[in-house]
Amino acid sequence: MTEDSMALADLLQKAGDSDFLRAVAETVLQMLMEADVEGQIGAGRHERSAERQTYRNGYRDRALDTRLGTLNLRIPKLRQGSYFPPFLEARKTSEKALVAVIQEAWIGGVSTRRVDELAQAMGLSGISKSTVSKLCRDIDERVNAFLDRPLEGDWPYLWLDATYLKHRAIQRRWMKFG
DSSP secondary structure, 72-95, as one string: EEEEEEESSS----TTSPTT--B-
pLDDT at 1: 46
pLDDT tens per residue, range 65-94: 777 778 889 988 888 888 888 777 765 666
The shares of helix, strand and coil residues in the chain, as percent rounded to the nearest 5, are: 50, 10, 40
Q: What number of residues does the chain have? A: 178
pLDDT tens per residue, range 113-157: 787 777 777 656 667 777 777 777 777 787 788 888 888 888 888
Percent of the chain scored above 90 by pLDDT?
Answer: 0
Close Cβ partners of 59 (under 8 Å, ≥ 6 residues apart): 74, 75, 76, 77
Q: In angstroms, rounded to a whole number, what is the distance separating the alpha carbons of residues 76 and 41?
A: 11
Contact 85, 75 (CB under 8 A): yes
With 0-12 / 13-18 / 19 or more C-beta atoms within 10 angstroms meaning exposed / middle / buried, residue 172 is: exposed
Helix (H) or strand (E) holding 47: none
3-state secondary structure of 177: helix
Q: In angstroms, rounded to a whole number, what is the distance separating the alpha carbons of residues 33 and 28?
A: 9
Contact 66, 25 (CB under 8 A): yes
Which has more pLDDT, 111 or 123?
A: 111
pLDDT greater than 60 at residue 3:
no
Among candidates 63, 96, 104, 137, which has minimal Cα distance to 115? 104
